Amino acid sequence: MHRWDPDLFFRFARHLPAAMAEVRAGSRLSADQGLNADAIVILGCRLLPGGVASGSLRARAEAGATLFHTGVAPIIVTTGASHEQPPGEAIVAAAILRDHGVPEHAIRMEEKSRNTEGNFAFSRGLCPGPCVYVVTEPFHMARALRIARVHGFDPIPHPVISPAWLRPWDRARLTARDAVSLAWWLGDRAGRPR
């Protein structure tokens, strides 16, 4: 953790228009299932009370299972810790994978992360190589791909249509939220010593 930077807000404001454009462009990316990769990384998503998968996490895990069955990668990494009480996001996503026929030996769980940055930071050691499919919703894709690259991955987007993406209000809200998150992340990185 680093000290509070009083200029961070100004850098955030400067990055916000470009971040919004980048998130909107990322929302239009299509899945490329023709490339082989070292792994498939399913990004975590907060659980519902009682450790139940949200519609977003379920959509991500089911899309990851379908992608795995095409033979493009030998393993799937599920990501995400428990935010309030067990089980964690990675454990719930792994159970969905098993229900969809993914064999146990192909599943690796990253159970430490609490955000997208952590998803990739802690997944690095679980992947046999840098080329990975990134499985998440379209509104999250631009930020996810940027963060993946910072952590040494060569990411391939695999956008997922979730219930949240299909609801216009949620799509608009989550797109705006991710643009704000990306602008904040860019502003924070710009202020770090090189």
Higher pLDDT, 31 or 127: 127
128-187 pLDDT per residue, tens: 999 999 999 999 999 999 999 999 999 999 999 999 999 999 999 999 999 999 999 999
Q: 29-163: which CATH topology?
A: Rossmann fold (3.40.50)
Locus of tokens 């955000």: 115
**Residues 21, 39: Cα–Cα separation, whole Å:** 29
Residue 3 — pLDDT band, cuts 50, 70, 90? low
Confidence at residue 128, expressed as pLDDT on a 0 to 100 scale: 96
Number of other residues whose CB lies within 10 A of the CB of residue 97: 23
**Residues 83, 188: Cα–Cα separation, whole Å:** 24
**Residues 162, 64: Cα–Cα separation, whole Å:** 13
- The pTM assigned to this predicted structure is 0.93
